[in-house]
Amino acid sequence: MLSLEAIVTSVSRQAAAELPEGLAIAWPGRQLDTESIGEWSELWCDDALGVVQREHSPERREITVTAHVFVRPSNQTTRVHELAEAARRAFHDRTISIVEPGDDDGAIVGVIRFREADVRDLTRLHAEVERRPLHHLVVMVRGTAQETL
Amino acid sequence: MATSQISRNLRDGELVISDGSTPPLTLTVVLDEGDLTWTQRQRTIEVKDRGSIAAGHLRKGDDESVQLSFTARWTQLIGKSAHEADALQLYETLMFASGTGVTSTSGAGQQETLTFVFTVVDPAGVAGETITFSKVYRETLTLSEGDDANLIAFSGRAFTTAPIVSRI
């Protein structure tokens, strides 16, 4: 049985390990005060959809992870792309282990195999609704979480 | 009466393949797609009386073996045939691969066959059934790549006119 908590925690661990050190990240379920910072990321586990399958088969779920990257305008014009690329590489075609959060032994209960990641630039859309200029890129990747056999 | 009115679906099924060893080697197909299909055919000879059906009659035709197929996802194709300590895999079982110890359920010199046991549990827990196909032989094994998963598609026949259905 794959718990949602285990999936979200494992995705968060992967992001924490792969995104640049020191980058402020709004983890799923957390809020971040962004007034005083120039760049940050938001990580979402958008969905974990059930898959039609036999009851005795290892459980599978189709999941979607979205990483939003925000950078306030500065001299580093490509900084937002740099961070988005780091987020893309963290998940694109990667296979990560699922570990139950409370398990001290770190027993692997499943894996998530991510497929190709998509990147979209929402900066222009953002400018239409926000007063402060902000670069905004979105990295979205789908994958399959599967219970270990 | 141990019957239930709940319709069954693919979630309730489990396919187990066993060989002719004593005790038999068994493999539970854990990554099948839930698309097991079989067809029981009955052959009939229509004897018409000078072209007339009304005056004609029917005779039993030859026995027809059961046609069956299923699809499963790949993990790896070979396990035990590559390393004795590894678990038996679906592909090498269906292929009677050397080193697996998989033995035919038919006698020496005959076509290699296996037994397929399909169990359908009753969600209400009262009338589960097993459907046993004996002397199953392979006609085609189609392996294909896919975006979501690579697939092994088995197609073959059970050398029997109908599977044996029994209550669990």
Interface size between A and B, measured as CB pairs under 8 A:
29
pLDDT surpassing 70 at residue B144: yes
Whether B145 and chain A come into contact, CB under 8 Å, resolves to no
For residue B4, the model assigns a pLDDT of: 81
> How large a percentage of chain A has pLDDT more than 70?
95
* Residues of A at the B interface, defined by Cβ within 8 angstroms: 52-58, 115, 144, 149
Q: Is-cis flag, bond preceding A20, omega within 30? A: no
With CA atoms as reference, the chain A residue closest to B8 would be A54
Whether B31 and chain A come into contact, CB under 8 Å, resolves to yes
Per-residue exposure over A18-48, b if at least 16 CB sit within 10 Å of its own CB, e if not: ebeeebebbbeeeeeebeeeebbbbbbbeeb
Cα separation values, B44 from A33, B47, B58, B59, B162, Å: 79, 9, 7, 6, 16
Residue contact A52–B10, C-beta within 8 A: yes
Beta bridge partners of B154: B70, B141
Residue contact A54–B28, C-beta within 8 A: no
Please say whether the dihedral angle defined by the alpha carbons of residues B3, B9, B11 and B17, taken in this order, is positive or negative: positive
- How many CB atoms are located within 10 Å of the residue A91 CB? 25
**pLDDT digits 0-9 by tens, A120-130:** 998 876 666 66
Interface test with B, best of A57, A59, A95 (most B CBs within 10 A): A57
Mean pLDDT, chain B, whole residue set: 95
SS3 call for B94? helix
| Shortest alpha-carbon distance between residue B36 and chain A (Å) | 12
Residue contact A56–B12, C-beta within 8 A: no
Lowest mean pLDDT among A30-44, A51-65, A81-95: A30-44
Confidence tier at B5 by pLDDT (50, 70, 90): confident
- How many CB atoms are located within 10 Å of the residue A105 CB? 7
Whether B27 and chain A come into contact, CB under 8 Å, resolves to no
Q: What angle (nearest 5°) sits at the alpha carbon of residue A93, between those of residues A89 and A96?
A: 90
pLDDT surpassing 90 at residue B31: no
pTM: 0.88
Whether B146 and chain A come into contact, CB under 8 Å, resolves to no
Report how far residue A18's alpha carbon sits from residue A87's, in angstroms, rounded to the nearest whole number.
7
For residue B1, the model assigns a pLDDT of: 61
With CA atoms as reference, the chain B residue closest to A144 would be B148
Across the interface, which of A52, A56, A144 has its CB nearest the CB of B30? A56
- Work out the average pLDDT over A39-60: 93
For residue A76, the model assigns a pLDDT of: 82
With CA atoms as reference, the chain A residue closest to B11 would be A54
Question: Residues of A with CB below 8 A from B32's CB?
Answer: 54, 57
Residue contact A54–B10, C-beta within 8 A: yes
Across the interface, which of A54, A115, A149 has its CB nearest the CB of B34? A54
Confidence tier at B41 by pLDDT (50, 70, 90): very high
Whether B148 and chain A come into contact, CB under 8 Å, resolves to yes
Q: In the numeric block, which tokens belong to residue B26?
A: 């068994």
Cα separation values, A68 from A82, A83, A134, A136, B29, Å: 13, 10, 12, 7, 41
Across the interface, which of A55, A58, A144 has its CB nearest the CB of B11? A55
Cα atoms found within 13 Å of the Cα of residue B71, Cβ hemisphere only: 13
> How large a percentage of chain B has pLDDT more than 90?
89
Residue contact B34–A53, C-beta within 8 A: yes
The DSSP-derived string for chain A is ---HHHHHHHHHHHHHHHSPTT-EEE-TT-----TT-SEEEEEEEEEEEE----TTSPPEEEEEEEEEEEE---S-TTHHHHHHHHHHHHHTT-EEEEE-TT-TT--EEEEEEEEEEEEEE-HHHHHHH-SS--EEEEEEEEEEEEE--
With CA atoms as reference, the chain A residue closest to B121 would be A55
Residue contact B14–A54, C-beta within 8 A: yes
For residue A127, the model assigns a pLDDT of: 65
